[in-house]
Amino acid sequence: MKNHSVVCVGELLIDFFCTDIDVHLIEGRQFIKSAGGAPANVSAAIAKLGGNSVICGKIGQDPFGYYLKQTLEAVSVDTSMLVMDEKEGTTLAFVSLKKNGERDFVFRRGADEKFTMDEIDQNNIRNAKIIHFGSATAMLSNPFCETYLKLISNAKEEGQFICFDPNYRVDLWRGRVNEFVSYTKKAIALSDFVKVSDEELELITNTKDHEEGVKSLHSLGAGIVAVTLGKRGTLLSNGRRTEIVKSIHVTSIDSTGAGDAFVGAILYKLANIELIKTIYTDFEQLYNIVYFANKVGALVCTKIGAIAALPTMQEVEWTEGSEEKV
């Protein structure tokens, strides 16, 4: 019997956001340090809701790595599968936003790129109920790409529930979109739950029609598909039934981390289902889980920051009865 833990595989990094208004990084002087990395955010979302999450990744044995480790431990994420590299530094990203929405972006890849299978506690990862693969950087290069795809394959062989979020970042995949799509399709083919944005759906399936795109993901092998549509809600499909799960009205301040909070909320709920694969045929329960996740994602948008904005279960429950469906 698998335990109720969720192992989140992928990068942890530091985002340095330039606070100077409408400047390139050349002119930028002031930066805010923020803990980042989609898998780290998902693990924190699960833990803050009261679930058991484990982060599996690699950081540098430097001040930034220790900051990331302490940030996750402060919200009760299990860091026992976190490797600290003595030679490679922690991955860093520097971002400056322009008024027209364009980003000036510099990425300094570090320790997470060097994560290998022999650094992973195989017994620990086999005991997890759910393995979440939601890394923006894992498939960029080896050895981490090989490690990542091997872990997905192993989880499939072990009969574990696999969640996959491709987390496409245009800045990271310029000139390599075909590679991204190829790797992503390999992961989707083995996944029980696939979460994509509407932009990612079009990129992967080459169609603007959402329902046709979802059918394409199912034909690859995806079990359950959730397409996030922002304020419109989430398009949910189990391959037999497809519906829009409505979101709630909020006054958005900062949407950073909302997608990761959405995934974390779903995994928190799924981990508490004794026979997890029964969710394939229980569409009503699945709908309720995604509606809960929509609510969690919306709540994140009402606060500044990613991990800091993630709600506790008590905060989610305070909204019960007060939310208004879109």
pLDDT in tens, 7-38: 999 999 999 999 998 899 999 999 999 999 99
Statement: residue 322 has pLDDT above 60: no
- Residue 118 — left, alpha, or beta (φ > 0 → left; ψ -120 to 50 → alpha)? alpha
222 contacts 195 by C-beta, under 8 angstroms: no
pTM: 0.93
Neighbours of 195 (CB within 10 A): 26
**Residue 85: which pLDDT band, with cuts at 50, 70 and 90?**
very high
Neighbours of 43 (CB within 10 A): 36
Alpha carbon distance 159, 207 (integer Å):
31
Radius of gyration of the CA atoms of the chain, in A: 19
What is the average pLDDT across 85-112?
Answer: 90
Q: What six digits make up the tokens of 148?
A: 């990542």
DSSP string, 195-246: EEEHHHHHHHHS-S-HHHHHHHHHHHT-SEEEEE-GGG-EEEE-SS-EEEEP
251 contacts 270 by C-beta, under 8 angstroms: no
Contacting residues for 100 by C-beta, under 8 A, at least 6 apart: none
Statement: residue 185 has pLDDT above 50: yes
69 contacts 94 by C-beta, under 8 angstroms: no
CA distances from 322 to 58, 90, 94, 103, 285 (A): 41, 42, 38, 36, 21
Statement: residue 326 has pLDDT above 60: no
pLDDT tens digits for range 206-243: 999 999 999 999 999 999 999 999 889 999 999 999 99
What is the average pLDDT across 81-95?
Answer: 96
Query: Please, is 249 exposed, middle or buried when counting C-beta atoms within 10 Å of its C-beta (0-12, 13-18, 19+)?
Result: exposed
Query: Which of 79, 72, 128 is closest to 276 using CA atoms?
Result: 128
pLDDT tens digits for range 249-278: 777 776 778 899 999 999 999 999 999 999
78 contacts 54 by C-beta, under 8 angstroms: yes
Element (H, E) at 38: helix 38-49
Alpha carbon distance 236, 18 (integer Å):
36
Query: Which of 204, 206, 207, 208 is closest to 222 using CA atoms?
Result: 204
What's residue 320's pLDDT? 60
What's residue 315's pLDDT? 85
Residue type, 194: V
What is the average pLDDT across 115-132?
Answer: 95
What's residue 230's pLDDT? 86
Element (H, E) at 124: helix 122-126
Alpha carbon distance 117, 148 (integer Å):
9
**Residue 101: which pLDDT band, with cuts at 50, 70 and 90?**
low
Residue 39 backbone dihedrals phi, psi, to 5 degrees: -60, -35
